Amino acid sequence: MENRFTVGEKDYFIKITPQAIAEGKKIHNKAFRQALDDGALLKKSLMNYMIEQGVWNDKKEELYKSFVKEIGELEYKLSSGKMKVSEGKALAIQLAKKRAEFRLLISERNQMESNSAEAQADNARFNALLAKSVFDYDTQKCVYASTEDYVENGSDDLGIALAEKFANFLYGVNEDYESTLVENKFLKRFKLVNDLGHFVDNAGNLVDIEGHRVDEEGYRLDSDGKRIDLNGNPLGVKIEEAEFEDDFNVPTEVVPQ
């Protein structure tokens, strides 16, 4: 397997050899045993632990199932069409919000699962494979001299970019996953969002979910392009600079005796 890509102005390529796969498996098994020795839980035991710690409970489990069902139903309804574009937009927004709520629900659970013995072993395997499989195209040599070199130096911008590219390649993940979601496909099809996924009006101006003009930082704008608050009042008004007619501190005229 080989894949060429660019990060910044340099070219790299991925080539996973049988030797790298064998080394990755060896490191995976070693890391798995070490994680168990260090007290890490297996995934199948982790759920019971999360319930004991109050991270997960029957109510959250029911909510989890409810989210999965509702998201599936919304996807089907939107994909089926037979509605006005305005209705489809409202449905797409509802679906996006529901997906965000679902991600928030499972975020803590996912974080704990990442500490399981299996997850730690998988992470060790990933590090080993990346170190032996990501090459500098110009030198035809591995970017990192060893797994230790990657672990020590892979947290910079280049390391993060290479890890993302390698993960997408290794696990077959679409680099632009968000664009594959039903709601985003709909919004792009009818030009309700731009290439960056930001809502736009018919003239291509940035707008918020409700259709109000906004700037690139998300501030609402008036018809003159000036920032306003949600009530339509100008931003930046300061009490110190406001003009008032002071009718309290009027000098008292002194009457001669």
* Exposure string over 171-209, b if 16+ CB within 10 A, otherwise e: eeeeeeeeeeebbbebbeeeebbeeeeebbeeeeebbee
Give the residue from 24, 202, 50, 183 showing the smallest Cα distance to 111. 50
pLDDT score of 2: 64
Give the residue from 157, 179, 177, 159 showing the smallest Cα distance to 168. 177
Domain 1-40+116-175 - what CATH class?
Answer: alpha beta
- For the entire predicted model, the pTM comes to 0.74
Can you give the residue ranges of every domain in the chain?
Answer: 1-40+116-175, 193-247
Q: How far apart are CA 12 and CA 138, in angstroms?
A: 8
Phi/psi region, residue 140 (left: phi>0; alpha: psi -120 to 50; beta: rest), is: left
Q: Which residues of the chain have a pLDDT value below 50? A: none
Interval 200-251: pLDDT, tens? 999 999 999 889 999 999 999 998 999 999 899 999 888 898 899 888 887 7
* Type of residue found at 234: P
